[in-house]
Structure formats: structure tokens, C-alpha cells
Amino acid sequence: MGLKSSLHNLKEKYRGTKMAPAFGAFHTFLYLPNDTTHGGTHIKAADDLKRTMNTVILALIPCLIFGMFNAGYQHSLAFGEVEHVSEFFSASFWTLDNFMIGFWKIIPLVIVSYVVGLGIEFIFATINDHEVEEGYLVTGMLVPLIVPIDIPLWMLTVAIVFGVVIGKEVFGGTGMNILNPALTIRAFLFFAYPTWMSGDKVWVEGAVERDTLIAAGENLDAISGETILGSLAQGNEVGYSVMDMFYGFVPGSVGETSALLILLGGLFLIFTKIGSWRIMLSSVIGALAMGLIFNQIADVGIISEGSKFYGLMNTTFWHHLIIGGFAFGVVFMATDPVTASQTNRGKWIYGFLIGFISIMIRVFNPAYPEGVMLAILLMNVFAPTIDHYVVQGNVKQRLKRLKVKKA
Amino acid sequence: MSNDIRIKKGLDIKLKGEAEKATEKAIISNFYTLRPEDFHNVIPKLIAKEGSKLKAGEPVFYDKSNKAVKFVSPVSGEILEITRGEKRKILAIKIQADKEQSYFDNGKFNLDATPEAIKAHLMASGCWPFIMQRPYDVIANPDKTPKAIFVSGYSSAPLSANLNYVLQEKEAELQAAITVLGKLTEGEVHVSVGKHGKSPFDSLKGITLHNVSGPHPSGNVGTQINKIDPINKGEVVWTVTAQDLVIIGELLLTGKFNAERVVALVGSSVQKARYFTTKIGSEVATMIYDHGIDKDANVRIISGNVLSGKQINPDGYLDYYSNTITVIPEGDDYEFLGWTMPVFNKISTSRALTFSWMFPKKKFDLNTNTNGEHRAFVTTGTYEEVFPLDIFPMQILKACMYQDLDEMEALGMYEVAPEDFALTEFVCVSKQPHQEIIRKGLDLMLKEIG
């Protein structure tokens, strides 16, 4: 009783002051508020935005934890400390050492993400005098999962400030933004600091540092942690099996590697009805369609084996689903309800085009062979247009009904 | 002729405290109140004044925009008090009832009269306000001829009165009302009844009968209009609630305006939920305390159902159009980590650690807590699951919010009433006031387009 009533008294004290939004954010985090209905329905369903966002975070937690183990594993593998694993429950992958290496690299990313992002949200909520909205809870968890492990924290900070302010707050905050904020942050990093977002060094903890040591004249072997897409784009042999890709024992952004855990997360989101199955399914269909088209082009021989596109075009079409950031993007980013299509029919079109364009960009952009981020951002921009035409369909039907009646 | 309407989208909200099929006579209320706010968009002009002695059915005020539309006293008695608010707006007219009730005699009506005579009779006798129109969900404009009249003989809202039960043995009154109203439309009188159970409408003549099934809002007249004959621009339909047809019918047959109505007292806070015979405008205190609620219980009393009813105080009154009084617990308490804990005792259409989907038959005891704070629209697709009309709910709500009249019209604003958006409001993750948004939108259109 003590905590509840003293918090209640504080709430009354801060009511109407500049402190109210910030205090409210902490208070409602601890306690579901005592607000009752006024006018309208007298009862309300159990779900609120906090619960919705929390469900997405729950779906992300396995990817985060796996990312920690994988960061450590990739590091140990590159430094020759462990053997290559091929089983999901392999003892040399799930070690405390691996976890601790990843943990100490990734927790700072998570903390920076939340502190900077939520800090901006609090400032804007106080300035605009509205409640602190929950949108950033998910964004803050997504951001550390879609960046390379070795990204310097100051770069991340700059990108988050840009992404949250320009990507979201200038439009009016949660619910009003056009672009997915997490992807805006990533796109900013990608265009502002390309050397830290691609290549074969940033994906493995310690590789960049090793390079600096070599440059300083130390006699060490350089570490290469090329992503699968990177290898394919350069026409190199991929050193990983399909199961490696599916389980996620490969280099890549922190949370994107394990298709298995992303699949589980996606199923959880569909089951809880928080994520749109229409978008996820249609994206997969779109990607498979584009993959098949490219496979055909490669098979028929339109493109020669020496072409720089050949490696990715010839990739078995369904492998596209489990390599790179495709799965993660489709499950967790394309389904963001604010920036996706809002009509059910629109979601099919939106999702399909994301899948289709992702693979297209992936194949035709070998300098940076990942397309899902740009595909989603592009479709974010087009989502209102898609919705417009879907809604116009309904409007036209209504006009037609009127004409039939008059005739 | 009978047609089937099946609704798939929707949600049956199963609550504790359903009324037992037993009717008691309510203690006769000493005071009755007419509240002009029950009649949306009506500006009252008083005919009677404080101290006037009235018979039941004698006019108390008329509508400023149409002098002929009279609003009458539900009982005979003396006007005790007229409460006024800001700018002398009339809030309530309180009438002290006589011990012996006497009725104003409107005369037995010839059911074969002309439409003009029918309209004049209904307006003068105080029955006109029972006829509502769409577009705009306001009292019908007598100058326009409706393309059809719709009556829902089936109630699907949570804990609402069972119409088959409350209308039993009222066939004669219903038939009289329908015969007369049918003459006021060029089209048909569509009556929808539940697919199961015996309805007093089954045997009536002069109606097109529809059998509806499926979850709430299948019983809402708005849903039925949308499925049977949707409203186009320029068209008008009228709707009358089934229990008001009885009052109209009795007036036509006997000449008496008898405001008697069978009302369900329901809700989880009520000890013994059951039906009462009472009158429009009577004090709810006459019903809620006997085997009902404790004197100072922390409860919400609602005149109407939990989705669209009006909040009233224990000394409040049954409003003009309701046949249900619902009493549920107030939810003005905090819940520790309530946003993240698994939820078993509340209803949810998602499965986000909410488990009502596991118990489809369970009856819930919901309180008035909002279960979260007001937010901008975020999630999509949730409204469509519970919204059976061929309309985009979120888009039309947003159009109302930014007041784009063309878009509101194009998206189907002429077809809707606030109660059609009660379920989307219930499930809304962002806790937006959908019914209020729609009401304001309709008022804006009425003002600008008319």
C-alpha cells in the first residue's frame, strides 16, 4: 500500500506541471493507471500500447540472447579459440565465455540506445506536454540488434538522435511517423559511416582493433569476418552450410543471424495477433518470387558466370530467406503498424513488394549487398499511396451503389 | 418472406450479471425527469413551466427547429423544478408524480389515416421522438420520406434486455405501430430478429423479416441496415427501437401515451439481476437497491448497456431510449505492473499474454478501468476484426478528426451512428474515444451539409 499511495500522491502533486509527463512515464511503468472510462464505452479491453510493445520485445529477447552468444562465438572462432559448430545445441557455442564477450559488447549498445532514445522522447513529451508514448520501447530494442557489433557508441548516439528527431518527433511522435525509426537510424549509419556498416571487419568483435594493430606494425594475422551476402556479392565461396545460416552461426548484425529464432519470434507475434501475418507471408512470397526469377535468369544463361551479379543471382531462391537481414526485417520491421500499410489488402501488396524489392536490391547492389532495409524504407514511403488506392476501391463501390440506385 | 443475415466479424462480450427472466413491478417512483440531452440536436422550448400540472402525455416542450414535434410528460403530476446550466440551457425537468395517474386522451387513431395525418398525430402525441433517422442519428425530420424503416428485434449488446422476453404479448401494439409507420415510407419496414428463439415479430404483417446470427453487433440496427439496404448519399432511413414501437402502438390503439417499459437491471455488481416494469424517466433508485447494490458501493450505474449507455448517479433517471440499467464495479485503482502481467480476468481480442481466448464461454466481471492510457492510433487491423460494416473504421475516424467533410462523406459517414463504433472503441489499444469522434463528425456534417 505504501508505494501505491505515495506514488498516487506524487502524481496529484505533479499534475499540470512540467514534471507530469516524465513522472507519468515511470509511474505507469510500475502501475497500470487508475483511469476510468468517461463517455463512450464503460468497459475496455485488456490491451494497451505498453502491452503491445512489450509483446514485440518478448519476441526479440531470444534474438538478443543468441546475438550475445554468437558475438562471442564469432570472436572466439576468428581468434582460433573454438572449433566450428554445426549443431544448434552445441556445447562449444553456448559457453559462458562466449556469452560474456557478447554481453559486454552488446549491453552498452542496448543502454546507449535506450538512454539516448528515451531521453529524446522525454524531452519532447515535456516540451509538447503529452504522455511519453511507448513507440521507442521497441525501436530501442531493435536498434542494437541491427547494427554491427563493433559500431562505436558515439556513432550510434548520433544516429539515434537523427533517427528519433528527424524520423519521428518532427512528424509528431509515435503514431505519426512515415519511416520506421529503427531503420532510419540504421540508414543514417549506413550512409554516414559506410565503412563501419559493411566490409569484412565490423561483424566480428576485435577484427577492427586487430587491423589497427597490424597497421601499427604488429606481426599478426588479419581477421576476416565476411557476411554470407558479402561473400556471394564478391563471387567467393561461402564457408557456411545451410544449417549454419538457419541456426545463425554466421557473422552479421547482432540480432539478424538466427533465422530459427526469428521464425519463432514471428510465429509468436502472429499467434498473439500483434504482428501482421499478411505482411510476413506476402514478403516471403515476394522474396521467393524474385529469387526464382533470378534463378531462372542464371539458369537460362542470360547472365554469364563471370558477371558480378552471378553469385547472388544463382543463390538457391529460398536461401535468400535465411541469409542476411531479410528475415529479421520482415518479421520485426516491415510489420511496424505505423509505417506499414494500414488496410488488410494494402498489407498484402506492401509485404509482397518489400520481399520482391529486397532481393532485387540485394542482387544489384553488390557494394552493399543487403536490400531489406532500403526496401522497407521505400515501401514505408509508398504505404500511404497503397492505402489510398485500397480505400478508393471502397469509395468507388459506394458511388457505384448510388449510381445503380439512380439508374 | 424471410432472409438470413450472418455476421462473422464482431465480438460477443460475455459479462456476469445477466438478467433472470422474471419481471417485478418496480417501486413507483415519486419523481420523473426529462432530460433534453437525451434528444440529440434538439433545442427545447418550454410549453409548461415550474408548477404546471400535467397529465401523462401532455407536452412539456417542443423542438425549436420544428414546433410540431412535442416532447411529453411520461407521468401525470406537477413540474417541480427545471434545472438550467450555462447560458440557461435546460438540463432537466423534474416532475413529481401524482398518486393517481391520469392520462391525456389523444383519441383512438384510425389506422387507415393518410401519412400527413399520421405524422401530425405522432408529433402532437409525443411519439415522434422515438423515430430516429440516419444519416446523423438524430430524431427524424418529418419533412423527408424515408426509403425504408428498420427495426431491430434482436439485441446482441452485452447484458442487454432480451427483446423476445420484454416484448412478449405485445403483438397487437407492435402490429399497430408497424401498420402506421409502414405508410410513412416508400419502401419496406425491415425487422430483424434473432435466428434462435421465438420473437413476437414473427407473426406480424407488413414487414420484411430478417433472421440475424453472429456475434455483436449483429443486433445493432446499423449493422442490419448495412447488410440489408445501405444508405446512399441523399437517402434517409428511419429506425425505431422495438420497445418504443410498443408505446407508439398503445397510443394508436388506446389514445394514451403510456411510458411504461420493461427494463433489465443487469451487471456483475447487482445481486439479483432481473427485469422491472417501470416508466421512462423514473428514478433508478427505485430499482437498484432491492437485491441490487449496497448503499455506498463503488459502482458505475449506466442507463443503457456497457458499450453505449450513459453514466448516471444513484439518484439519476432512466433515459428516454434505454431498456437496460447496468451496474458494474468502478475500476479506479492501480494495478501493479498491470501492463505486463499475464491477464486472465479481462477480455482481449489479442493473445498478448491475455488469455480470454482460452475461455470462450467464460463470463467476465469487467470494471470501468481503461486498462491503459490514451495514445495516438498505432495498431492496425484490430478494428476490422470486430467491425462488420463495409467501411474502413480507422480511416473514417481519422477523417472525422481532421474534419474533412468530403472524405467523411466518401468513406460512408451517412451510414453510421456512434453505437456502430462501440466495439472498435472497446478493443482500441490506443483508448481513443471512437463514439465521441463519430458523434462530433456527424454533428459537423449536420451543421455544414444538413
What CATH number does the domain containing B210 carry?
3.40.50
Position B328 scores a pLDDT of 94
Query: Is residue B266 a contact partner of residue B279, using CB atoms and an 8 Å limit?
Result: no
Contact B380 A276 (CB under 8 A): yes
Q: Give yes or no: residues B174 and B212 share one domain.
A: yes
pTM of the shown model = 0.92
Pick from A31, A47, A402: which is nearest to B336 by CB? Answer: A31
Shortest distance, CA A364 to any CA of chain B (angstroms): 33
> Would you call B432 an interface residue with chain A, using a CB distance cutoff of 8 Å?
no
Residue A401 with chain B: CB contacts under 8 Å: 230, 232
CB atoms within 10 A of CB A137: 22
Closest CA to B145 of B117, B116, B125: B116
Q: How far apart are CA A209 and CA A202, in angstroms?
A: 10
Q: How far apart are CA B325 and CA B319, in angstroms?
A: 10
Which is higher by pLDDT, B434 or B109?
B434
Position A407 scores a pLDDT of 66
**Average pLDDT of span B222-247:** 93
**Average pLDDT of span A58-80:** 92
Q: Average pLDDT, whole number, for chain A?
A: 88
Q: Give yes or no: residues B403 and B434 share one domain.
A: yes
Shortest distance, CA B417 to any CA of chain A (angstroms): 13
Residue A23 with chain B: CB contacts under 8 Å: none
Residue of B nearest to A56 (CA): B352
**Average pLDDT of span A362-379:** 84
Give the ipTM of the model, two decimals please: 0.91
> Would you call B47 an interface residue with chain A, using a CB distance cutoff of 8 Å?
no
Q: Give yes or no: residues B7 and B154 share one domain.
A: yes
Q: Among A60-74, A181-195, A219-233, B220-234, which is the least confidently predicted range?
A: A219-233
Query: Is residue A269 a contact partner of residue A331, using CB atoms and an 8 Å limit?
Result: yes
Residue B367 with chain A: CB contacts under 8 Å: 43
In a domain, B360, yes or no: no
Q: Give yes or no: residues B220 and B124 share one domain.
A: yes
Q: How far apart are CA B311 and CA B304, in angstroms?
A: 9
Residue B331 with chain A: CB contacts under 8 Å: 34, 36
> Would you call A5 an interface residue with chain B, using a CB distance cutoff of 8 Å?
no
Joined grid coordinates for residue A73: 562465438
> pLDDT (tens digit, 9 = 90+) per residue, B55-97?
999 999 999 999 999 999 999 999 999 999 999 999 999 999 9
Position B268 scores a pLDDT of 92
Among A residues 114-173, those touching chain B with beta carbons less than 8 Å apart: 131, 133-135, 172-173
Residue A36 with chain B: CB contacts under 8 Å: 300, 330-332, 368-370
In a domain, B309, yes or no: no
Contact A52 B333 (CB under 8 A): no
In a domain, B68, yes or no: yes
pLDDT at A83 over 60: yes
> Would you call A34 an interface residue with chain B, using a CB distance cutoff of 8 Å?
yes
What sign for the dihedral angle of Cα A381, A57, A230, A89? negative
pLDDT at A405 over 80: no
Contact A32 B354 (CB under 8 A): no
> Would you call A26 an interface residue with chain B, using a CB distance cutoff of 8 Å?
no
Which is higher by pLDDT, A161 or A299?
A161
Number of domains chain B contains: 3
In a domain, B279, yes or no: no
**Average pLDDT of span A36-57:** 91
**Average pLDDT of span A29-58:** 90
Closest CA to A96 of A80, A73, A75, A77: A73
Residue B437 with chain A: CB contacts under 8 Å: none
Joined grid coordinates for residue A340: 506499414
Position A1 scores a pLDDT of 57
> Would you call B222 an interface residue with chain A, using a CB distance cutoff of 8 Å?
no
Domain housing B90: 31-97
Residue A399 with chain B: CB contacts under 8 Å: 410
> Would you call B346 an interface residue with chain A, using a CB distance cutoff of 8 Å?
yes
Contact B376 A32 (CB under 8 A): no
Q: Among A279-283, B7-11, B291-295, which is the least confidently predicted range?
A: B291-295
Burial class (CB in 10 A: 0-12, 13-18, 19+), A396: exposed
Q: How far apart are CA B345 and CA B365, in angstroms?
A: 7
Pick from A35, A172, A337: which is nearest to B380 by CB? Answer: A337
Position A19 scores a pLDDT of 81
Joined grid coordinates for residue A187: 540508414
Q: Give yes or no: residues B7 and B38 share one domain.
A: no
> Would you call B336 an interface residue with chain A, using a CB distance cutoff of 8 Å?
yes
Residue of A nearest to B394 (CA): A342
Contact B381 A276 (CB under 8 A): yes
Q: Which residue, B214, B237, B254, sits at the end of a domain?
A: B254
pLDDT at B291 over 50: yes
Position B339 scores a pLDDT of 85
Residues in chain B: 450
Q: Which of A20-24, A297-301, B359-363 has the highest mean pLDDT?
A: B359-363
Position B1 scores a pLDDT of 45
- Note the helical H segments in A301-343: 310-313, 326-328
Position A366 scores a pLDDT of 65
Q: Give yes or no: residues B57 and B150 share one domain.
A: no
Q: Give yes or no: residues B237 and B134 share one domain.
A: yes
**Average pLDDT of span B420-436:** 94
Q: Which residue, B189, B221, B254, sits at the end of a domain?
A: B254
Pick from B334, B339, B343: which is nearest to A4 by CB? Answer: B334
Contact A41 B326 (CB under 8 A): no
Q: Give yes or no: residues B84 and B232 share one domain.
A: no
In a domain, B398, yes or no: yes
The DSSP secondary-structure symbol of B263 reads: E
Q: What does the longest C-alpha to C-alpha distance in chain A come to?
A: 88
Q: How far apart are CA A391 and CA A387, in angstroms?
A: 6
Per-residue pLDDT band at A7 (split at 50, 70, 90) = confident
Beta strands per DSSP E along A316-382: none
Shortest distance, CA A392 to any CA of chain B (angstroms): 9
Which is higher by pLDDT, A113 or A175?
A113
Percent of chain B with pLDDT over 90: 73
Query: Is residue A225 a contact partner of residue A77, using CB atoms and an 8 Å limit?
Result: no
Residue A394 with chain B: CB contacts under 8 Å: 390-392, 411-412
> Would you call B435 an interface residue with chain A, using a CB distance cutoff of 8 Å?
yes
Shortest distance, CA B361 to any CA of chain A (angstroms): 17
Q: Give yes or no: residues B143 and B238 share one domain.
A: yes
Joined grid coordinates for residue B398: 481519422
Q: How far apart are CA A126 and CA A193, in angstroms?
A: 32
Shortest distance, CA B72 to any CA of chain A (angstroms): 27
> pLDDT (tens digit, 9 = 90+) per residue, B257-269?
999 999 999 999 9
**Average pLDDT of span A240-262:** 90
Distances (CA, A) of B73 to B104, B193, B256, B262, B281: 10, 31, 12, 18, 9
Sheet holding B77-84, edge to edge: B31-34, B90-97, B77-84, B53-54
Position B297 scores a pLDDT of 84
Q: For B391, left (φ over 0), alpha (ψ -120 to 50), or beta?
A: beta
Residue B380 with chain A: CB contacts under 8 Å: 276, 337, 340, 342-343
Q: Residue B323: what residue type?
A: N
> Would you call A281 an interface residue with chain B, using a CB distance cutoff of 8 Å?
no
In a domain, B340, yes or no: no
pLDDT at A233 over 80: no
Q: Chain centroid to CA B150: how far?
A: 14
Shortest distance, CA B338 to any CA of chain A (angstroms): 5
Shortest distance, CA A348 to any CA of chain B (angstroms): 13
Phi (first) and psi of residue A334, to 5 degrees: -65, -25
- Domain ranges across chain A: 49-386
> Would you call A108 an interface residue with chain B, using a CB distance cutoff of 8 Å?
no
- For chain A, the C-alpha Rg in angstroms (whole number) is 23
In a domain, B43, yes or no: yes
